[in-house]
């Protein structure tokens, strides 16, 4: 692995007009999700000739792009999502940022983009969070949501991998993900599919999200909170939500989550919960589970809980499932016991309330 000494150092650019403290406090009092941003950003350029260069931590602002920039035409873009948490002792920490760096590079590979050294990715995140630490929201469940992303900047309309990219990191103070703060969400089983075998389903790329907006809009219009995607081949196997992985909990205390077959996103929350559940002695299977089985098991009572998981919304119970051929309630329709227990185990580690036996928590500062 490259040591930090071999990587471009972040040049700090002064901010001409940082947000005044009173305005900042007012802005982060009720931040919601994804609509408030801090004062700074990291930008690092890559070109075929120079590799990674021009690394800056400076004022957040618009990015000038040539109208022929490849990302605007062929969507060569990938991103990550992680959070800085406040620990019990008041310091801040990241949760498994190395995993985000690794997944970012896996996405980059699938989208024919350059690899970024994991140390550079994590250091950029770390330094930006420390720079804008004053933006950490005090609200219950608050965090600094971190959005690293990379896109093709080369001005060229021919179809081939671009020869120039920007890696950028921005921060967004965040409260709870779901506006309603609902104890359990209702999901809509879409007729659209998200990912096909051999496609980009396992990559965290903007293109996947672009294709999920119509089905997500349909779910919202029908009064649901999220969309569930089935597999593209048989339209039968449950894959995941638009941006979260799914778990199913049975009356014998066992769990199922769909396997990483290449068409679902390998969630870090998913992986962490698998580890925690196995440590609890629970039987966990990474196994295909069909929509009809979901309905039948919910009806028979064999299935007692279902939940979605991801960094943004952490662990979210699924209470109701509807679709063109489906309409059923899971358990009592509210949050389940095991869901709550696993969520508490994870959140306690993320917030430093219990010992971190896995080396998942990276303290900052
Ligand atoms: C990011 C993402 C997830 C969740 O991944 P985490 O690492 O747990 O945040 C799940 N599904 C999709 C499609 C995603 O983009």
How many whole angstroms separate alpha carbon 83 and alpha carbon 93?
8
How many whole angstroms separate alpha carbon 214 and alpha carbon 67?
26
pLDDT surpassing 70 at residue 1? no
pLDDT surpassing 60 at residue 110? yes
Cα 130 to middle of ligand 1, angstroms: 25
Residue ID of nearest Cα to ligand 1 atom 12 = 243
Cα 10 to middle of ligand 1, angstroms: 28
Q: What is the pLDDT of residue 8?
A: 83
pLDDT band at 182 (very low <50, low <70, confident <90, very high): low
* Per-position b or e across 157-189, b if 16+ CB within 10 A of its CB: eeeeebebbbbbbbbbbbbbbeeeeeebbbbbb
**317 and 305 Cβ atoms separated by less than 8 Å:** yes
How many whole angstroms separate alpha carbon 210 and alpha carbon 267?
19
- Please report where in the chains the tokens 């990379």 appear, as a residue: 150
Helix (H, G, I), strand (E, B) or coil at 124: helix
Q: Is the CB of 270 under 6 A from ligand 1?
A: yes
Residue ID of nearest Cα to ligand 1 atom 15 = 243
Q: What is the pLDDT of residue 183?
A: 80
Please compute the mean of the pLDDT values over residues 138-159 and round it to a whole number.
95
* Per-position b or e across 286-316, b if 16+ CB within 10 A of its CB: eebbebebbbebbeeeebbbbbbbbbbbbbb
Total residues found in the chain within this entry: 365
The residues spanned by each domain of the chain are: 4-174, 185-350
Whole-number percent of the chain with pLDDT over 90: 91
At residue 291, φ and ψ (nearest 5 deg) are -65, -40
Higher pLDDT, 284 or 90: 284
Instruction: Give the residue, out of 238, 244, 247, 312, with the most ligand 1 atoms within 8 A of its beta carbon, to mutate for a pocket test.
Output: 244
pLDDT surpassing 70 at residue 179? no
Q: Is the CB of 346 under 6 A from ligand 1?
A: no
Nearest atom in ligand 1 to the alpha carbon of residue 268 is 7
Cα 271 to middle of ligand 1, angstroms: 11
Q: What is the pLDDT of residue 31?
A: 93
Question: What digits encode the pLDDT tens for the residues 309-365?
Answer: 999 889 999 999 999 999 999 998 988 999 999 999 999 999 999 999 999 999 997
Instruction: Considering only CA atoms, give the Rg of the chain.
Output: 21
How many whole angstroms separate alpha carbon 212 and alpha carbon 200?
13
83: left (phi over 0), alpha (psi -120 to 50) or beta: beta
Cα 49 to middle of ligand 1, angstroms: 33
Structure tokens at 204: 């965290």
**Two domains, one topology: 4-174 and 185-350:** no
Q: What is the pLDDT of residue 359?
A: 97
**What CATH code would you report for 4-174?**
3.30.470.10
How many whole angstroms separate alpha carbon 115 and alpha carbon 108?
6
pLDDT band at 2 (very low <50, low <70, confident <90, very high): low
pLDDT band at 88 (very low <50, low <70, confident <90, very high): confident
DSSP string spanning 293-332? HHHHHHHHTSEEEEEEEETTTEEEEEEEEEETTEEEE-TT
Q: What is the pLDDT of residue 7?
A: 78
Q: Is the CB of 265 under 6 A from ligand 1?
A: yes
Q: What is the pLDDT of residue 338?
A: 95
**206 and 148 Cβ atoms separated by less than 8 Å:** no
How many whole angstroms separate alpha carbon 52 and alpha carbon 28?
33
Cα 169 to middle of ligand 1, angstroms: 18
Q: What is the pLDDT of residue 141?
A: 85
Cα 311 to middle of ligand 1, angstroms: 7
Q: What is the pLDDT of residue 129?
A: 98
Question: Is the Cα torsion angle 129, 134, 135, 140 positive or negative in sign?
Answer: positive
pLDDT surpassing 60 at residue 181? no
How many whole angstroms separate alpha carbon 81 and alpha carbon 67?
27
Q: Is the CB of 269 under 6 A from ligand 1?
A: yes
Q: Is the CB of 267 under 6 A from ligand 1?
A: yes
- Secondary-structure class of domain 185-350 per CATH: alpha beta
Q: Is the CB of 201 under 6 A from ligand 1?
A: no
Please compute the mean of the pLDDT values over residues 49-76 and round it to a whole number.
97
Q: What is the pLDDT of residue 144?
A: 97
Give CA separation, 291 vs 210, 237, 305, in Å: 24, 6, 15
Question: Is the Cα torsion angle 131, 135, 137, 138 positive or negative in sign?
Answer: positive
Q: What is the pLDDT of residue 89?
A: 87
Number of Cβ within 10 Å of residue 7's Cβ equals: 18
Nearest atom in ligand 1 to the alpha carbon of residue 103 is 7
Whole-number percent of the chain with pLDDT over 70: 97
Nearest atom in ligand 1 to the alpha carbon of residue 310 is 8
Please compute the mean of the pLDDT values over residues 21-30 and round it to a whole number.
96
Determine the Cα angle at 60 with ends 115 and 94, to 5°: 55
Contacts of 43 (CB under 8 A, 6+ apart): 54, 55, 56, 58, 63, 166, 167, 168
């Amino acid at each position: 692995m490259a040591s930090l000494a071999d990587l471009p150092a972040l040049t700090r650019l002064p901010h001409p007009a940082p947000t005044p403290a009173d305005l900042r406090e007012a802005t982060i009092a009720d931040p919601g999700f994804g609509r408030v941003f801090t004062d700074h950003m990291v930008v690092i350029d890559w070109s075929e000739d120079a590799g990674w260069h021009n690394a800056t931590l400076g004022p957040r602002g618009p990015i000038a792009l040539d109208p022929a920039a490849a990302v605007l035409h062929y969507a060569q873009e990938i991103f990550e999502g992680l959070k800085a948490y406040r620990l019990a002792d008041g310091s801040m920490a990241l949760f498994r940022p190395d995993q985000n760096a690794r997944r970012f590079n896996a996405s980059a590979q699938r989208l024919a983009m350059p690899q970024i050294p994991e140390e550079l990715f994590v250091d950029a995140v770390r330094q930006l969070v420390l720079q804008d630490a004053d933006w950490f929201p005090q609200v219950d469940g608050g965090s600094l949501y971190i959005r690293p992303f990379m896109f093709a900047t080369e001005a060229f309309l021919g179809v081939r991998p671009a020869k120039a990219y920007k890696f950028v990191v921005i921060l967004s103070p965040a409260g709870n993900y779901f506006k309603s703060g609902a104890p359990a969400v209702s999901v809509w089983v879409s007729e659209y599919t998200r990912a096909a075998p051999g496609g980009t389903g396992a990559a965290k790329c903007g293109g996947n999200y672009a294709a999920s907006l119509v089905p997500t809009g349909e779910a919202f219009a029908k009064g649901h909170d999220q969309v569930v995607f089935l597999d593209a081949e048989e339209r039968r196997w449950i894959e995941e939500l638009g941006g979260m992985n799914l778990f199913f909990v049975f009356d014998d205390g066992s769990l199922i989550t769909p396997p990483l077959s290449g068409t679902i996103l390998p969630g870090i929350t998913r992986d962490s919960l698998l580890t925690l559940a196995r440590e609890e002695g629970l039987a966990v299977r990474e196994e295909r589970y069909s929509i009809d089985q979901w309905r039948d098991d919910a009806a028979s009572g064999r299935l007692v809980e279902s939940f979605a998981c991801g960094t943004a919304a952490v662990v979210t119970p699924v209470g109701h499932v509807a679709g063109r051929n489906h309409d059923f309630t899971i358990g009592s329709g509210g949050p389940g016991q095991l869901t709550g227990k696993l969520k508490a185990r994870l959140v306690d580690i993320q917030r430093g309330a219990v010992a971190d036996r896995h080396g998942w928590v990276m303290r900052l500062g």
